Amino acid sequence: MADEVQTTQPAGGAAATEGAAGAKKNKKINRLEAKDIAGKIEALESSNATGSKYYRHLLQRKQELGG
């Protein structure tokens, strides 16, 4: 048993291989420029995701930037 090599595979299966392919991560909201924030807000509004925390954080950051 000590001589066996155990390989661990993620529980996600196909989703895990997609993540290993280099899924693009979101920038932190406080590092986004005003035009990027506006674009993300528009995208969320068009997909009716205005109840999400991410959307609320974007709106808050937009107000902080004076936009």
pLDDT per residue rounded down to tens, the chain (67 residues): 567 666 665 665 555 544 555 667 767 888 888 899 999 999 999 999 999 999 999 999 999 988 6
- Identify the pLDDT of residue 1: 58
**21-30 LR contacts (CB < 8 Å, sep 24+):** 29/57, 29/58, 29/61, 30/61
- Identify the pLDDT of residue 59: 93
Contact 49, 55 (CB under 8 A): yes
